[in-house]
Amino acid sequence: MTSAETHPRQRPARRSGRSSGRRFGALWWRDTIDDAARSSPARLALTVFVFVIAFFTALLSLPFATESGQPAPLADALFVATSAVCVTGLTTVNIPEYFSPFGEGVLLVAMQVGGIGVLTLASILGVAVSRRLGLRTRLIAASETKALRLGEVGSLLRTILIVSLSIEAVLFVVLTSRFLALGEPLAQASWHGVFYAVSSFNNVGFIAHPEGLQEFVGDPWFVLPMAAGVFVGSLGFPVLLVVLRSWRPREWDLHTKITLTATTVLLVLAFVVLGAMEWRNTATLARLDVGERLLATLFLAVMPRSGGFSTVETGAMNPESWLVTDALMFIGGGSASTAGGIRVTTLAVLVLAVVAEARGDVDVEGFRRRVPAGSIRIAVTVLLVGATVVLLSTIGLMAMTNHTLDRALFETISAFATCGLSTGITGDLPDGAKYLLTATMFIGRTGTMTLAAALALRERRRMFRLPEERPIIG
């Protein structure tokens, strides 16, 4: 009997040392990624984001990435690269004036990569090559996309790619047509169209006009497409997947109903409150006619979802409007979206818990469904961790600068919520403050729960439960 017959599963000998080395290297790399994905998908997500940010920082640090031909300082290159990948929109420099066409192209790619999600993009490329998703890849993608069931990940990833490119294509056509109508050359209009299409749908907030967007304050052909792109991008891909499958609300799941309801309520409240507060402010809305005021107010109400664009001077708004915008930015948009913040579902679950407690109900319910106790604990954790990050970052920013609490808080929440709105102090910050906001943007984009999951120990199972005793609360 031959050795092959004795060991039927024995692998054939490798043909050459070079191919053996390549195969061993590929297997080692694949096994390393698989082990990391299996042990902690969240930690792998954080690691990939760090490497991607470092890559784009290196590109923006090249001499030919700037108009002056001088390498960008590390603090500025890291800040802008993090802002692009984390789809924030805050910047320490005037992007159209500071960066060369190559640098702006790098930012465009960084915005797209950050919007889709590094791990989601990697999974899409894997689907294109292998035509299938393995279980481990599904687990990694589920960590980034917050898919409800593993069986939905494949459909969700295809929807991400198709919906993103489709919406951006529509925005590109509309915006490019508008820029052409305003007299821009075809090349410039096309560049502005694609830049704003990517920046708006991915909720980044970077602009391609050095003088800002104030000239478009009364232009509905610019304002409405931009606001629509930000709004749709902030809903979240799971919601878009459900809505595309069925337009009937009774067939939607609880997450979709909560997200759409909470987003609509917040949008209406923001429109009414911000409009009332800024209606007589001559530095923002009062100088416009009634139609332009309404259009600018709508833009103001949508942008705290995490858009970051502004057709009026944010630094000239009333302090009470800053405070309302702070709250809206901190809440943010939908889960698994290009928006940031603690997410509208977190707020909605907490509100439902308060309503249930006020009624004396044992269960937390909404839309004829019961919310699990685990979801409530996660919502409380996200809120507390997010508030702690904002508190510590605000204290640090005030300690490093001489800015007042209202401006420091606004800038910090904008960074944490990956919004990008600014009162105008970002460009003058010292390097230490820039690094602080860079870390805040990174934490806000990767998510407070993702960060906690990456650093926490594995969940332990206990064979017994301690006796229950209720403390006095309130």
pLDDT by residue (tens digit) across 386-419?
999 999 999 999 999 999 999 999 999 999 999 9
* Top-confidence range, 219-223, 240-244, 456-460: 219-223
Is 123's pLDDT higher than 60?
Answer: no
**Amino acid in the structure at residue 188:** Q
Closest CA relative to residue 306, chosen from 339, 262, 334, 274: 339
pLDDT at 462: 65
Is 212's pLDDT higher than 50?
Answer: yes
Cα–Cα distances (Å) from 331 to 124, 287, 328, in that order, read 29, 30, 5
pLDDT confidence of 3, banded at 50, 70, 90? very low
Secondary structure class of 66 (helix, strand, coil) = strand
pLDDT confidence of 236, banded at 50, 70, 90? confident
pLDDT at 317: 95
What mean pLDDT do residues 181-196 have?
95
Q: What is the dihedral of CA 356, 359, 365, 368, to 10 degrees?
A: -160
**Amino acid in the structure at residue 209:** H
In tens, the pLDDT along 438-458 reads: 999 998 888 765 654 544 444
Which has the minimum average pLDDT: 233-237, 289-293, 440-444, 466-470? 466-470
Which has the minimum average pLDDT: 60-64, 183-187, 371-375? 371-375
Is 17's pLDDT higher than 60?
Answer: no
- Distance from C-alpha of 92 to C-alpha of 77, rounded to nearest angstrom: 9
53 or 150: which leads in pLDDT: 53
Tokens of 145: 């996309």
pLDDT confidence of 147, banded at 50, 70, 90? low
How long, in residues, is the chain?
474
What mean pLDDT do residues 263-292 have?
94
pLDDT at 122: 46
- With tokens 């159209």, the residue in question is 96
236 or 69: which leads in pLDDT: 69
pLDDT at 455: 41
- Distance from C-alpha of 474 to C-alpha of 124, rounded to nearest angstrom: 49
HSE-up (13 A, CA, CB side) for residue 369: 13
pLDDT confidence of 9, banded at 50, 70, 90? very low
Q: What are phi and psi of 285, to 5 degrees?
A: -100, -30
**Angle value at C-alpha 194, between 190 and 200, nearest 5 degrees:** 140
**Amino acid in the structure at residue 157:** L
Question: What's the predicted TM-score (pTM) here?
Answer: 0.85
pLDDT confidence of 245, banded at 50, 70, 90? confident
pLDDT at 131: 45
Is 14's pLDDT higher than 50?
Answer: no
pLDDT at 323: 96
High-pLDDT (> 90) share of the chain, %: 55
What mean pLDDT do residues 327-343 have?
88
228 or 28: which leads in pLDDT: 228
Is 15's pLDDT higher than 70?
Answer: no
Mean pLDDT score across all residues of the chain: 83
Q: Which residues contact 191 (CB under 8 A, 6 or more apart)?
A: 208
Is 34's pLDDT higher than 90?
Answer: no
Is 20's pLDDT higher than 90?
Answer: no
Q: Which residues contact 40 (CB under 8 A, 6 or more apart)?
A: 453, 454
pLDDT at 178: 96
Q: What are phi and psi of 10, to 5 degrees?
A: -65, 135
